[in-house]
Structure 1
């Protein structure tokens, strides 16, 4: 007969877990390893009132604010970089404002995930939000571009923790409610994703503070986020995970060499890809050296992790043997790469094909379609309860097909483009939420949620950057063909002297009325013909990019048939419990004591 005894919170003599959908017990002798003691319990064993506690909902608020701040740190300012450069520049290093955010976030996700698994999450999340707060202040008062780059670097470092929301929220709720919890987090993306470009344009065109207003908003958001982490979020600490007096042991045994190799490899490889075709030519030594050395370092990292005996590896290699997890991470990454293709290309397409005859705010609203669709899909995915693998098998191919159909759009079909884009990105957004959640469920040891999802997040950034580079190269190469082949012929046919064609192309790219007025022989009729020819040539180039997405989405469609059915794992297991600030006891428990059923 079962009896009820009392044991200190977070240190149960026996813990009932339901990993892999099977109930089993582990004693304290089996719990002490690299990721610490197991805290998993059935949610029916949680104290009454646990989910109503202000600490639980305060933590959920901190997680939601965190993802909102992490995304807004880039989405608020990305559409305004040209205005920033005109105001406090000009500088040829303006691209680093965006690049440094991307690089630091991609590298930091893996490191933050592993470190928080071992040492506890609380202070990493607090410090991460504090860094983003500091970076927002630096950007808000930046007198020049180098200061902006420094501030965005701090924001990027902070986003490494802020965007680690998937494992932060997943471990606080029962396995069967993880998808719903992630959908809740995506509600917080409505502001930065759906309205980020609009907010940026509104501050620039309709306020006296200009682009700095975006950072004023970001300061307030990061301040509230930091305070929420500090006052409400109390997951298991290092001492509760490993016992007292062992911190130096774990610090000494941590995989510093592997971390350095992985960091340098990711930084160099992603930096080389981001530089190519924009900052430097693809055949330049800067690009080739960064890509080649970065790739070799990443290969060396995997060999190092696999064959060097490490007590605390950055990447436990047994994760790479988990086929279900690998497949889900790949589909997650490929889905994100399809999204990033349109996040990069669509605003340019709006400016080139559809902005004529509309005010600047129209471009801001139109550019928001991608983020709005992705966020809507991420939220709607939360209604799925069973058969998630079949949902992915529908939403991913359907979304990919709709986005590929963007190749049918012309300068005369802005409505078709917006509808296709909204529907396609909504389906891809649903895939984002489903695959990332299923990846958390397929991890054999739930104490490694941070490590597995941190590695997954870095892989997602890696694949997205790689695919985004392909799309950018395809677009630039096609524009280099379609514009010279179509625009000069149309201009000369309309009566523009051949000697003025080069000047028109330069002036049109510049986009100012003064530059166009200086073109000899140009009149309104010829300008109209040239504008239309430029739009048609651009549409042909964008069409190629949309067709290129099929190559990547095709791989994703094949992989959807390899994903597992996780229905059996949608159990009542809760991986960790929060504690109260006052006494360290589980929320709702009296005097820091919780009841644990023992045999």
Structure 2
């Protein structure tokens, strides 16, 4: 047994002694020391999963389709057409910002709350948010409404992310990667062709892009019913049997919760605003919320680490630097690149290569397929391959290299563009799911929801930060160079400078696919038009090259952090942390696994004596 395992176990025992020491017979060994449980309570063969457990895991997995596959991936794939239809292509970018901010906040809260009140009702509440968000988005008549709906979907998704902990703890340790891979199968099959599917729905159905949300609504209802019928985890993950739910509610860290939620929202709003036309980086509307939000976050952790009786963020968890805390830095960087690239890459295809929406969908197809291979297929074999640390490092290296390589193929190589972007984004899912597995193996059950919540929060926070930074870089280059480049190209072909006020916006409209934009402009010959369009696409290519180059330092930082995490692959055993309290649709059949937990905890008590 590793020495750090014993040390961290001792710290956790001291931290929670007052709440469970007198009732150790009711506490699973995983609640105290997951490392010891994985090695000592390791049967020769993994236990056969019951039908209810399988259906519960499947229900939890498909709950991601509504907020991620439909509410995020499909929608962001055609974000400009949605904005055009609703009358505002500028503010529509908040569809991404609202989603990521809301998911960051809700995941940070839901993880810890599920440790107190149980995973079942926490996840169901998130699924209900997704149902409401889908209905509002599908019927939206303006951009503001769909942004609100996207925020609901992001908030619900953050709560649903608790099922990463729920799935992990129901399965044998060595199958945890396979269980989490089911979520990726749900997210990516058939949604790996997200841009193409969204484009086809938008162009060839009567309801257009609204079908993205109606499809999500169908899956939200199905997953909610499945969770309600089949998912019966322990009602009290904290195993604090002396206290009622109301007592636990009163003991919640409301100060820390308020500081953290307010700080995160304010901080991310500042970052999302940054770089927009009416919110430059140096403006008070950006600086003030960033500083105020950061101060609130610092105050939250300072309070929790020193004064809180029952902290929302226990210091004992963050002290596990190599076992957990470093994972937060890794998923932060992974989220920066993934969420921003998911929105930026289809735009780059539009601005640089083609305005044909179907062709843009085909360009994005390899991207979706490779995401499926990394996130679902490779993750399914995570327990067989082991070497979790190496899997994370290899994925980070691939992602960092291939994003940088995208700069070499624009604007001249469309095939290379389609192929390279697949490996630039694809490794993200394997990185994140491997981090969830690592956290699940290292963090005791008492804090598992909190730990997975923090991983999700930092992932989404990274997405918001990346979205702000990379969009700022893009817009700064375009804003500075686009007009002069079009003007120089047109004048060089003999176009009169007096007509540039009409030619420049017409060129931009043509690039994004507006037909007949050059009609009626004197002197706009085919030669002039071609020169202007080529110049515009060259400027966009330069801007996107700057974005891709700017991701390199962040990728290197993540790789360095990954070198210092501790590989917990030794704990990928046949051990199962918990079993459902009830089986069957109506939850009437009690299991006997609770007795096994009690017997093992009794052994622990004797060992401690």
TM, length-normalised to structure 2: 0.86
> Residues of 1 paired with 2:257 and 2:599: CA distance?
41
- Deviation of the 1:434 alpha carbon: 2.1
> Residues of 1 paired with 2:226 and 2:336: CA distance?
32
- Deviation of the 1:411 alpha carbon: 2.1
- Are 1:173 and 2:175 matched, yes or no? no
> Residues of 2 paired with 1:458 and 1:498: CA distance?
51
Match of 1:403 in 2: 403
Q: 1:539 aligns with which of 538, 541, 546?
A: 541
Does the 8 A contact of 1:73 with 1:218 survive in 2?
A: yes
- Deviation of the 1:33 alpha carbon: 8.9
Aligned pairs for 1:105-116 (under 5 A) are: 105-116=103-114
Residues 84 and 339 of structure 1, relative CA distance in 2, 3 Å threshold = closer
> Residues of 2 paired with 1:204 and 1:165: CA distance?
32
> Residues of 1 paired with 2:477 and 2:564: CA distance?
35
Please identify, of 503-512 and 368-377, the stretch whose mean Cα deviation from structure 2 is larger: 368-377
- Deviation of the 1:595 alpha carbon: 8.8
- Deviation of the 1:251 alpha carbon: 0.7
> Residues of 1 paired with 2:87 and 2:516: CA distance?
21
Match of 1:68 in 2: 65
> Residues of 2 paired with 1:92 and 1:423: CA distance?
29
Please identify, of 450-459 and 560-569, the stretch whose mean Cα deviation from structure 2 is larger: 560-569
> Residues of 2 paired with 1:362 and 1:21: CA distance?
57
Please identify, of 344-353 and 226-235, the stretch whose mean Cα deviation from structure 2 is larger: 344-353
Does the 8 A contact of 2:71 with 2:212 survive in 1?
A: no
Does the 8 A contact of 1:66 with 1:165 survive in 2?
A: no
Aligned pairs for 1:339-418 (under 5 A) are: 339-356=338-355, 359-379=356-376, 380-384=378-382, 385-418=385-418
Residues 131 and 392 of structure 1, relative CA distance in 2, 3 Å threshold = closer
> Residues of 2 paired with 1:369 and 1:335: CA distance?
19
Deviation string 1:493-528 (CA, Å, 9 cap, x unpaired) is 111111222322212223333432133310112111
Match of 1:273 in 2: 271
Match of 2:563 in 1: 561
TM, length-normalised to structure 1: 0.87
Residues 84 and 478 of structure 1, relative CA distance in 2, 3 Å threshold = closer
Deviation string 1:130-186 (CA, Å, 9 cap, x unpaired) is 221122122222344443334333222211222333212111112222222222321
- Deviation of the 1:428 alpha carbon: 4.0
Name the SS for the 2:426 alignment partner: helix
Residues 446 and 207 of structure 1, relative CA distance in 2, 3 Å threshold = same
> Residues of 2 paired with 1:480 and 1:28: CA distance?
60
How many residues were matched structurally?
Answer: 574
Name the SS for the 1:521 alignment partner: coil
Please identify, of 284-293 and 127-136, the stretch whose mean Cα deviation from structure 2 is larger: 284-293
Aligned pairs for 1:8-157 (under 5 A) are: 20=5, 30=20, 37-38=27-28, 40=30, 51-71=48-68, 72-90=70-88, 93-157=91-155
Deviation string 1:19-41 (CA, Å, 9 cap, x unpaired) is 9499x99999945799x943747
Deviation string 1:236-264 (CA, Å, 9 cap, x unpaired) is 01399333761111111101111111111
Residues 248 and 197 of structure 1, relative CA distance in 2, 3 Å threshold = same
Match of 2:304 in 1: 305
> Residues of 2 paired with 1:495 and 1:430: CA distance?
54
> Residues of 2 paired with 1:92 and 1:388: CA distance?
42
> Residues of 2 paired with 1:557 and 1:172: CA distance?
31
Match of 1:477 in 2: 476
Match of 1:15 in 2: none
- Are 1:516 and 2:531 matched, yes or no? no
Match of 2:217 in 1: 219
Residues 66 and 304 of structure 1, relative CA distance in 2, 3 Å threshold = same
> Residues of 2 paired with 1:274 and 1:28: CA distance?
43
Residues 463 and 292 of structure 1, relative CA distance in 2, 3 Å threshold = same
The structure with the greater share of residues assigned to helix is 2
- Are 1:433 and 2:433 matched, yes or no? yes
Does the 8 A contact of 1:104 with 1:157 survive in 2?
A: yes
- Deviation of the 1:94 alpha carbon: 3.7
- Deviation of the 1:91 alpha carbon: 8.6
Does the 8 A contact of 1:336 with 1:460 survive in 2?
A: yes
> Residues of 1 paired with 2:18 and 2:508: CA distance?
68
Does the 8 A contact of 2:270 with 2:285 survive in 1?
A: yes
> Residues of 1 paired with 2:334 and 2:143: CA distance?
33
> Residues of 1 paired with 2:19 and 2:494: CA distance?
87
Match of 1:14 in 2: none
Does the 8 A contact of 1:447 with 1:575 survive in 2?
A: no
> Residues of 2 paired with 1:193 and 1:462: CA distance?
24
Does the 8 A contact of 2:127 with 2:160 survive in 1?
A: yes
Does the 8 A contact of 1:193 with 1:368 survive in 2?
A: no
Residues 448 and 371 of structure 1, relative CA distance in 2, 3 Å threshold = farther
Match of 2:506 in 1: 507
Deviation string 1:34-68 (CA, Å, 9 cap, x unpaired) is 9x94374779899x996442210111111211222
- Deviation of the 1:583 alpha carbon: 5.8
Q: Structure 1 segments of 4 or more deviating over 6 A?
A: 24-29, 41-46, 592-596
- Deviation of the 1:276 alpha carbon: 1.8
Please identify, of 323-332 and 365-374, the stretch whose mean Cα deviation from structure 2 is larger: 365-374
> Residues of 1 paired with 2:572 and 2:590: CA distance?
23
Structure 1: 5+ residue stretches without partners:
1-18
> Residues of 2 paired with 1:595 and 1:102: CA distance?
39
